[in-house]
Amino acid sequence: MARIVIVSNRVPSSAARGPQAGGLAVALKDCLKDGGLWFGWSGETAPQTCADVKIGSVGKIDFATIDLSREDYRQFYVGFANSALWPLLHFQPGLVEFDRAHFETYLSVNRIYARALAALIEPTDLIWVHDYHLIPLAYFLRALGVENRVGFFLHVPFVPASLLSVLPRAEKLLRMLCAFDVVGFQTHEHLRDFEDCVRNMLNVTTDVAGPIIVDNHPVLAIATPIGIDARSFARQAKRSAHSRVAKRLDESMQGRALIIGVDRLDYSKGLPNRFDAFGRLLDRFSEHRLKVSYLQVAARSREDVAEYQRLKRDLDRRAGEVNGRHAEFDWVPLRYITRAISRATLAGFYRKARVGLVTPLRDGMNLVAKEYVAAQDPDDPGVLVLSRFAGAAEDLTEALIVNPLDADEIAEAMHQALTMPRAERKARHEKLFEKICQTTATTYCRDFLSALLGGPYDVLT
């Protein structure tokens, strides 16, 4: 069987390379079960970016990393990737900060990644590249004569041509994306938007079955939604609900209903509106006063991007405002934590929550939505309130679907969730759980790698 080579901007740090690894590592664990190579940035900065790699391994997986110079980190990662591409792909053109020098650095860092990677691969390796930091990678690998099958998966949304073309150099970037053999998206909507871009910006026909031909190269575009191992997460949640920390949460709630939100502290996650919506719930549905608490876990991220610093200040203020207006001496309505919480602890907290609030303005998928559903007690489940603009909403239609810009609509959905009869909660949960068991981390890896291989790829053999 071909060796799998995973390429992502960040490689799990040495501390996270073991069995506790989170995020992408969890999703990819099946396809790396028989070993493989994981290549990317070490997370460290050095005086200079160079293609020298550091090699390490944990079990059967080899890790190869390179360091970035401080300046490359600033221009490539903070600059073009997270201050131009991220806001654009999350439908926020007003937040795009384009700088031609940053774009050039984005290309040159990808060229360096390609050089380093080309020296590590065997001719039969299958190369699977992840996310928006690395869109030009296949183009530079091809320029070095690499002929391996190279696939790309975009974890964030894609946008229609009318929006992508707002970005200077968008056409060049789109052509580079088409140098991959397979390009995967989270949803059919993102896939359609990609095809719209190819048609309208590159003038290429896409209404054919199979690959699209761009610059004489066939690229197959597919939707392969990411998922979680729902059954194992459900078992974890059941165990964690009895942990010491879960009991502490219970005691602090004093019989009140828990509403939970878990996100990275990111403007795409719709947190300011969500805080406002909670305030409106208490204003408009006064029966919930003193009876509910909303716990928002918002792990700080990308703190060196200015927009994230502004968001943090805004949320601190709004949280203070909601509590200042509604709290009583013995009741804190909004509990707001800006640290990450371990996966095991989260699983137990989700299970205790009567409402899971997932209201991003845009999101590629949103795994929190799936984790919340997986964690529920099937006999007495909580209710998922889900933004129609999360990729997860394409499938999870039994959630209470809301427009995240409408704080009143979110407040009404919270009220509906808090008062929903148990039979309805069970019926909705049963369907949702069935769905998250069908589209899992395993099916994600299997479907993507089968497309890349051009035949069935069984991740479990």
Question: Active-site residues: which are they?
Answer: 155, 363
Residue 345 beta carbon to ligand ADQ: minimum distance, rounded to whole angstroms? 9
The span of 231-239, 324-332, 361-369, 418-426 binding ligand ADQ (CB under 6 A) equals: 361-369
Question: Which residues, 6+ apart, have CB-to-CB distance to 123 below 8 Å?
Answer: 147, 148
- Tell me which of 125, 196, 229, 363 binds ligand ADQ, using CB under 6 A: 363
The gap from C-alpha 8 to its chain's centroid, in whole angstroms, comes to 13
Q: Which residues are registered as beta bridge partners of 68?
A: 45
Residues 9-28 that bind ligand ADQ (CB under 6 A): 23
The encoded tokens of residue 417 equal: 């969730």
Nearest Cα residue to 67 out of 85, 83, 48, 82: 48
Stretch that binds ligand ADQ, among 72-80, 187-195, 322-330, 357-365 (CB under 6 A): 357-365
Nearer to ligand ADQ, 226 or 277 (CB): 226
Question: Does residue 226 bind ligand ADQ (CB under 6 A)?
Answer: yes
| Cα-Cα-Cα-Cα dihedral sign, residues 227, 232, 238, 243 | negative
User: The tokens 């390609």 sit on which residue?
Assistant: 114
**Within 89-128, which residues bind ligand ADQ (CB under 6 A)?**
none
Contact call for residue 245 and ligand ADQ (CB under 6 A): no
300: Cα separation from own chain's centroid = 15
Which is closer to ligand ADQ, CB of 293 or CB of 296?
296
Query: Considering the complex, what minimum distance in angstroms separates the CB of residue 296 from ligand ADQ?
Result: 9
Tokens representing 233 are: 């997460």
Q: How many residues bind ligand ADQ (CB under 6 A)?
A: 20
Helix (H, G, I), strand (E, B) or coil at 210: coil
* 3-state SS record for 28-92: CCCCCCCCEEEEEEEEEEECCCCCCCEEEEECCEEEEEEEEEHHHHHHHHHHHHHHHHHHHHCCC
Using CB under 6 A, pick the residue from 299, 332, 401, 453 that binds ligand ADQ.
299
Q: Which is nearer to ligand ADQ, 366 or 439 (CB)?
A: 366
Q: Does 341 bind ligand ADQ (CB under 6 A)?
A: yes
Strand ranges across the sheet with 292-299: 334-337, 292-299, 257-264, 355-358, 383-387, 400-402
Question: Least Å distance between CB 100 and ligand ADQ?
Answer: 27
Is 37 a binder of ligand ADQ (CB under 6 A)?
Answer: no
Smallest distance from ligand ADQ to CB 312, Å: 13
Answer yes or no whether residue 201 interacts with ligand ADQ by CB under 6 A.
no
**Type of residue at 347:** A
- Judged by CB under 6 A, the residue of 297, 311, 355, 441 near ligand ADQ is 297
The binding site for ligand ADQ (CB under 6 A) comprises 23, 155-156, 226, 262-264, 297-299, 340-341, 346, 363-368, 371
